[in-house]
Structure 1
């Protein structure tokens, strides 16, 4: 709950007018390709149809999938199974899109809960099928994997084979699915609604305004040090007012995961994520170790930033202080032109697909009072199209965020030739296209901006890369610590905060002074709740993208067709197979070090430019 009620506070008018001025030219999305409204009867009809098909599927195939089944029977069953997944997915996607824009609206929350419940009911009817495939003999599964008739589903069957040790009986898995609505799903919903409803007081031009999360955090990019400090204090005050509930949610989700891991036979808390990402602990640890060994690069950079800003100390709220006094704001139309021009320089196909998002209203960019923070791209299904969600506040950082999400969108658009079971790819590969989009934008802007702004852009690129590689690595290690500590019982907010501070301090060393307020900033990060151990995929994807981008700069246009093929393949192949044309070995420490060296070259370039200005 918020620290005060907007409906009972005369500051409501101030925030409404403040946001109204800023939102005039920002787009809402058009979801009519999905449904006309949350009251559209087609939503219930689609769920009913999917449930009916699931019942027929169960009648036709339960008890009939075994080692004697031939490839034609398996192909027919998988195709029908895939069709049911497509039909049942659409209502849930629509409900989440509406909920994201106004997560306080009880009707949106009710629709989201209803679609989740119906989706689980449908999945319960067809759950037997994957388990039947898993219970095939290893010899039979390998035979099906190599059968040309099932070529389109080869990777799907390979994943089934890898899941064998981690699946339960049908009755046991049904219990877990049913309980999810009132355990993990309910806790995540509580977390989302708490933060969406929370408002933060901030003094602007002599008036107190109430800001949402994305707006208050935007002030951490202010050129005014006092504004940054006050914004950080306001944000801490806000999350502290709900910290008891946020701590409770964190504890319960960690325990919930521990219970699931025990029954699904995962040794470590992150093992299920590695399986989903089709990677190994050894590969991830190799990457993490390389990044940690280069924390000194972070410290070196912030020492440089301290000199540039002429500050005695850099505090946690100064990390994103702009290095240019420019207060330029970018209209949404400018952001569109900049991104499309950048994408065009890489590939006209990229620009064309990205333009569809603007022209066909597939983007929600307008901040709203009850809109959730952050940004994402919703893929939906190959038969439809993706949607992009963000909070646009007119800064160049927002342009980078938009380019990032459009990278995801272009990836999904290119992969629409795949069928639904191949229209999903591991997080480690998913971040590749988004980071690549950022790099294309960065190079494009470097050529267009004057020297002073170009230097500022370089520093922002470094900071963005640090946030993606080094910060996410520290966050991954924090998650490991958190789940390990939870084994000893429920944790206090102070205990979790100490774990957070330890890992952040390791990364920053003495280059950034961490205030006591910063200790609580773990509590608002959604990844720890919604998708445990997701965060290392950002570092993985960033370093992989830097390597691929270096190959693009070296090979030029001959690289483009290979890269587009990679994206078109979607989830048709494993990450290792997708990357085979690029001769990349993810298990090699030197590969990851190559990505870090590219980051180092950016820092060295910044230091040289700064030194040249002193002489």
Structure 2
């Protein structure tokens, strides 16, 4: 268990330590100074904008100093926030960590409020003033982010209004997301077997959905359904409150042009509306082929249709070992990555040796898996619950892919490392593809090949059916939420409709409580936390398919793509490195064809 516990003590011994207190005090001082310095020049900034003038030399110097100090304070606050999130992910009941996070949130909110006049000024200032600000070497790396933000100049509110929104978002918007995290972290699932009842945490029950035994999967799924049904009104209130908040903010921002509820998600993911529509069009044009993957899964299980607890199941055909130990999983992933490049394999070994991975099964552990990082030292961390299934091994490879992405960017200016979700999934899904292909290639028996190829068709159903269904549900929800709040039963109906549209007859029943059980819908900081996964899946498949053509140049091209993800739009990135236009369905259809070939290969292998 010790080697499966991550080492975060290298960052702070505890949130009560002198090291943590010192960083907190330093951020407090920097925020107080930031408030004072911005207040001194805010009227001059407003006057400059109102009169259509350029910023004077002295004010440029002051503004540059403020921007640099604000970034330093932000890094420290982010570092402490990461630490507290890590603590609470392992033990969601830690009241001390919750209290400290609340204090840090209030401090971060003060910093954001203080910076509003500067932010608004940079978004609205003249090109000449912008270039003067970017002349400082420590400010220059912010150019792409600033230019991207300047696209919002027609929707930015006044300084006072923006500051007020930031002030009330912590006890308002973000509080709903924290309520969901607390609810899911403390929820108990009563698994009712024929001869016994076992009570486990939600994370544990969710991990058992991947179990080899279909009875365990069914009981685990039903226990999760029962648990969320008991909290469905609370869950519905959370989603209604988060989406209602966003609708009201969009109304306020629509003073010169209409702000659509998808606009923020497109801005955050750095893609254009045409790109999203092209990708979804390509997916739906292929829906019958994608359903074939689900049908094949059911056929291998001896069923006419999948049950909802089968969607993440391991292969029923096994080449031998049912589960693997944590050490075995790490060796599998390391060896797989080495076949792409030795540096990737060494990276996995380093992550394991440094104990930068949290994989334990714990009763109060948060559900899900993620990759995070400490910005002070540029060190990544991976979080998951590992129970030995092939799906767990894929998840571990996925999160290590994320970590590798941040690792190859660690020498870049921080402002050039903030990549969007669409591009964030590139390295993670690429890592899964590497693992699956190596395992299939090295398998010695037909049964082993089927077992390892199972992950390929499971991925096709997840990214080409489940994720689009999530998007359709959320889009329908936001359309109706603009008129009124929806009941829990209405949310279940929207989920049912979306799943029927995408899965069709391939399921015995739809997971109508998915709207409640899926964390992504209740994330306060990000709306539409869904389509970027399909984007990353198809984009990574496009990159992976070019391995043979690029030959010895592949790894360098791959790393170049990863390093550019924080300083380019998705459209420009793909055009630069692959020479393709992702606003056209044709780009996505080529990637989907690669996946269809994998599904067809599985069919020939299994039947």
**Same-fold status (TM-score > 0.5):** yes
SS, match of residue 117 in structure 1: helix
Task: Name the residue aligned to 1:308.
Answer: 300
Structure 1 residues 288 and 589: alpha-carbon distance in aligned structure 2, compared to 1, 3 A threshold: same
Aligned counterpart for 1:46 among listed residues 13, 20, 23: 23
Task: Find 2:214's aligned residue among 194, 204, 225.
Answer: 225
Measure, in 1, the Cα distance between the counterparts of 2:183 and 2:380: 27
2-structure distance, mates of 1:29, 1:172: 42
Report the counterpart of residue 110 of structure 1 in structure 2: 99
| 1: CA distance, partners of 2:323 / 2:3 | 13
In structure 1, the partner of 2:493 is: 498
Query: Which residue matches 1:608?
Result: 604
Secondary structure, in 3 states, of the residue corresponding to 1:92? Answer: helix
Ranges in structure 2 where 5+ consecutive residues have no aligned partner: 49-53
Aligned mates of 1:253, 1:149 — CA distance in 2? 36
Number of aligned pairs?
586
Distance 2:263 2:218 in 1: 39
Q: Is the 8 A contact 2:468 2:502 kept in 1?
A: no
Provide the rounded CA distance (Å) in 1 between the counterparts of 2:95 and 2:514. Answer: 28
Write the mapping of 1:6-45 to structure 2, written as runs, cut at 5 A: 24=1, 27-45=4-22
TM-score by length of 1: 0.90
Counterpart for residue 165 of structure 1: 154
Distance in 2 separating the partners of 1:69 and 1:353: 48
- In 1, the alpha carbon distance for the partners of 2:245 and 2:429 equals 32
Trace 1:99-498 onto structure 2 (pairs within 5 A): 99-138=88-127, 140-141=129-130, 151-203=140-192, 206-265=195-254, 267-321=259-313, 322-325=315-318, 326=320, 328-381=322-375, 383-449=377-443, 450-498=445-493
Partners of 2:358 and 2:212 in 1: CA distance: 28
Q: Is the 8 A contact 1:431 1:542 kept in 2?
A: yes
TM-score (ref. length: structure 2):
0.91
Residues in 2 aligned to 1:76 and 1:182: alpha-carbon distance in whole angstroms = 31
Cα deviation digits, residues 502-559 of structure 1 (max 9, x gap): 01011111121215xx211220111111121121000011100000111123322211
SS at match of 1:387: strand
Alignment partner of 1:391: what SS? Answer: coil
Query: 83, 99, 112: which one pairs with 1:94?
Result: 83
Cα distance, 1:602–1:46 mapped onto 2, change above 3 Å: same
| Deviations 1:395-443, CA, capped at 9 Å, x for gaps | 1111111111111101111111122222211111111011111111112
8 Å Cα contact 1:367/1:392 also seen in 2? yes
Q: 2:306, 2:506 within 8 Å by CA — same for their partners in 1?
A: yes
2:606 pairs with 1:597: no
**Does the aligned pair in 1 maintain the 2:31–2:110 contact within 8 Å?**
no
Describe the shift of the 1:58–1:175 C-alpha distance in structure 2 as closer, same or farther (beyond 3 A): closer
Identify the range of structure 1 (110-119 vs 298-307) with the bigger mean alpha-carbon deviation: 298-307
Query: Structure 1 stretches of 5 or more lacking a match?
Result: 1-23
Query: Could you say if the C-alpha distance between residues 205 and 36 of structure 1 is closer, same or farther in structure 2, counting changes exceeding 3 Å?
Result: farther
SS of match in other structure, 1:599: helix
Call closer, same or farther: CA 1:499–1:431 in 2, change over 3 Å. Answer: same
- Alignment root-mean-square deviation, CA: 2.3
Asked whether the equivalents of residues 382 and 418 of structure 1 are also in contact (C-alpha less than 8 Å), the reply is no
Q: Is the 8 A contact 1:102 1:370 kept in 2?
A: yes
SS in 2 for 1:409: helix
Moved more, 51-60 or 412-421: 51-60
Shift of 1:86: 1.2
Question: Are residues 487 and 123 of structure 1, via their aligned partners in 2, closer, same or farther at CA, if it must alter by over 3 Å?
Answer: closer
Aligned mate of 1:512, from 507, 512, 516: 507
CA contact (8 A) 2:265 2:528 kept: yes
- In the TM superposition, what is the alpha-carbon distance from 1:260 to its structure 2 partner? 1.7
Deviations 1:452-494 (A, max 9, x none): 1211221222112321232111101110000111122111111
Give the SS at the match of 2:198: strand
Q: Retained in 2: the 8 A contact 1:141–1:161?
A: no
Tell me how far apart the structure 2 counterparts of residues 538 and 281 of structure 1 sit (CA, whole Å): 16
The equivalent of 1:68 in structure 2 is: 55
Comparing 67-76 and 78-87, the one that deviates more: 67-76
